[in-house]
Chain A
Amino acid sequence: MHWWLPAQGSTFAGFIDTLFTVILIITGIAFFVVELGLLWFTFRYRARPGRRAHYTHGNLKAEVIWTAIPAITVVALGIVSNHYWKIIKGRNSVPADAYQIGVHAKQFEWQITYPGPDGVLGTADDFTLRNDLHVPAGRPVVVHLSSEDAIHSFFVPVFRLRQDVVPGMAINAWFQATTPGEYELACSQLCGLGHYRMRAHLTVMTWDDFQAWMKTAAQGATS
């Protein structure tokens, strides 16, 4: 079991994990300041006979400081976050040359439509597999997400990618896988009683392996 984030399998994982770590350090400092401060105060200022509390209603300077520091920090975090947000999810973020795959979600399965050997979605050699997602590594891939019934969510932990799949909406999500291997695609939005078993097998392959697999799979699917 990991005590940390999962293995990194896409180009997004590096900066999301770095951002996570930066936030952990910042909030960690705040955490120790507050919790150790509370512990110290409970010890240092515990009631003892003959003591009297210091009578004060506040201190403007202190309050300005502890308002300004969090304010500057969170706004800075927001600016940095937004830079990466636009790369992953921005309106025009999907690279023009991204390899296209159709993903149709329904209770409780994933139907994956591949463009076939010609590499173009929506042509005669397209074929569809159930709960079996293959993607090439090293080049951008865009998944065209659609849902038949309830809201589902396309979640690949190693890619650090999650996108809800909403009925009535055509949503694109893109990623670039980095590491060939066997992974899992999960549904992460409650979609009914079979939600917990709405999983698909995910195989990340080198581009050459992927091309070879595509030819065999296309024949298998049409024969």
Chain B
Amino acid sequence: MSAHHDDRSFIRKYIFSTDHKIIGIQFLFVSLFFLLVGGLLAMQIRWQLGFPGRPMPGGGILPATMAPGGVILPEYYIQLVTMHGTFMVFFAIMPLLVGVFANYLIPLKIGAHDMAFPTLNMASFWTALLAGLIMLAGFFVPDGAPRAGWTSYAPLSARPDLSGASYGQMLWCISLVCLGLSSILGSVNYITTVINLRAPGMTWFRLPLSVWALFITAILGLLALPVLSGAAIMLLFDQTIGTHFFDPAAGGQALLWQHLFWFFGHPEVYILILPAMGMVSDIVANGSRKPIFGYHSMVFAITGIAFLGWIVWGHHMFVSGMNPTLGSTFMVTTMIIAVPSAIKVFNWMGTMWRGNLRFHVPMLNAIGFVAMFTIGGLSGVFMAATPVDIHIHDTYFIVAHIHYVLFGGSLFALFGAITFWYPKMFGRLMNEFWGKVHFWLTMIFFNLTFFPMHILGMGGEMRRLYDPTQYDFLKPYQPLNTFISYSAFLLFASQVVFFVNFLWSLKHGKAAGNNPWEDNGLEWSLPSPPAHGNWETVPTVYRGPYEYSSPLVKEDYLPQYRKLDTDREPAMTPVSGH
């Protein structure tokens, strides 16, 4: 395959494409759509919490089984929290990080023509889309969407007589089995590609940290998703053919589900943050015009987090009734996993130290990531301390924590990454001014929305509560809940700026040229957007990815592909494409 002849039909080129770049962009559009869906669900949750029992503006279009006269029903409310979590975790953040960027970046950054298995790659996208549509279908079946939370704790999730949801709960299982298949297909592909298709000279320790993070994430995905698929199939059997794996009323074990779910679920948490950390590393080095501080310790930190991520799942279960001695064990591993995260934060700061900082929109969002991820990481220490967790478990303190990590962390990184690689994807830059407006509005309203949730959690406000004013001790917090809701509405409105900028710039953005950010990565040697097959002949790599402000050249960047007179050709035999 080469970058030359492209006589594919429109359908093969843009719909059933095997080009990793097109597949990445397909993932981008689909998961931005699901991000919007998840956001709309969150707005309805915030309406009910801010203004319990009041008719929701525009809620009149919902059927009477959800919101008669626009007033949200308790059964619809728990569908909202279940589907908000499910969509954001599985169909927005995960595909945005992995589906989009593992696909788009890996071949371009390692100097390959395409993925090792392009057809599997195409299958991975279509399976993921199918999974998303199956999940969405939950809203349209009798009894509506699943109602057991995104964690689907059994036996509530296993027994329709307890949850009140029958088909929706089954669709949840079927959808996640499909999604698991999609992730496994993708992971196999990413791992094989990174191992086998690196360009000559692209040694392991010359890989950009984004590729390291995506590679380690793929290993996590390959090992974790089968556990979720297995658990989801068992749950589906409980719902349909009466197996009772998780129903103690007939000999099953309620905690078995939690162990299986979190054995998958905690590595999943790192699937949702490691790629963000990797891409932020690339962007911070570029924005600081400095080599990344402590490249090797960054790689070891990623690997360390990935390993420890397998032995911390019990911290979700401190008060579940699990053996309390196990609680002590999981507390220790959970405390230790804070260390590699701290190393990464200090290394990003070390990268900025004595740098020459360019505040382009990707850099602003990357700094925002470091600032917000730090808060999310530090609030995790409270939960790791078992006695404190007894009080704050299942409260808004946890809701605050997860949003600082997944929104303040992953989503800020994604805003940065999308803005950074947008010119390579579409040949045009997103608008700089509106990008900055979006960053600042999001930063302000994000903190106004989620920081006060720590206060609610300390006061004891429980998660997934349809109407907190039912409790006397929570009534005084209602003004704060209303304040959070107003902030959340403004946070949602701020995202319109991003979406409009994204769509407008497709046609009207400034032409990008090959290397608008003066970056060192291989992808920037190509035209924007690169042709099918990427390279005529694969490039040769002469150095690591972060040679900014090198004394060897007068420019403040030295791309991996640029050959200086002093560089020798790499001894490694070139790896062929296909």
Contact = CB atoms under 8 A, between A and B. Distances in A.
Interface of A: 1-6, 12, 15-16, 19-20, 23-24, 26-27, 30-31, 34-35, 37-38, 41-42, 45-48, 51-59, 62-63, 66-67, 70-71, 74-75, 77-78, 81-82, 84-86, 88-91, 93, 107, 149-151, 153, 155, 157, 160-164, 166-169, 171, 183-184, 186-197, 199
A153 B258 CA distance: 15
A110 B343 CA distance: 47
28 contacts: A1-B459, A1-B480, A16-B391, A30-B374, A35-B371, A38-B349, A41-B352, A46-B357, A48-B356, A55-B551, A56-B293, A57-B546, A58-B293, A59-B294, A63-B346, A67-B297, A67-B339, A81-B385, A85-B324, A85-B327, A107-B162, A163-B319, A169-B254, A186-B462, A188-B463, A190-B78, A196-B465, A196-B468
Given A45-B355, A78-B335, 12 more contacts: A15-B387, A16-B391, A31-B375, A56-B290, A57-B291, A58-B350, A81-B386, A85-B327, A166-B254, A189-B394, A192-B162, A193-B75
Contact of A89 (B249, B327, B546): B327
Contacts of A184: 471-473
A151 B354 contact: no
Interface of B: 74-75, 78, 81, 147-149, 153, 155-156, 159, 162-164, 248-249, 252-255, 288-297, 319-321, 323-325, 327-328, 331-332, 335-336, 338-339, 342-343, 345-347, 349-350, 352-359, 367, 370-371, 374-375, 378-379, 381-382, 384-388, 390-391, 393-395, 455, 458-460, 462-468, 470-473, 476-477, 479-480, 546, 548-551, 556
Interface of B is mostly: helix
A46 B287 CA distance: 10
B458 A5 contact: yes
Nearest to B353: A41
A51 B289 CA distance: 11
Contacts of B466: 193, 195-196
B395 A188 contact: yes
Interface of A is mostly: mixed
B311 to A, nearest CB: 14
A177 to B, nearest CB: 16
A75 B345 contact: no
B225 to A, nearest CB: 24
Contacts of B297: 58, 63, 67
Nearest to B74: A193
Nearest to B288: A53
Contacts of B321: 163-164, 166, 169, 171
B357 A149 contact: no
B336 A74 contact: yes
Given A74-B339, A193-B164, A55 B550 contact: yes
A155 B113 CA distance: 57
B476 A1 contact: yes
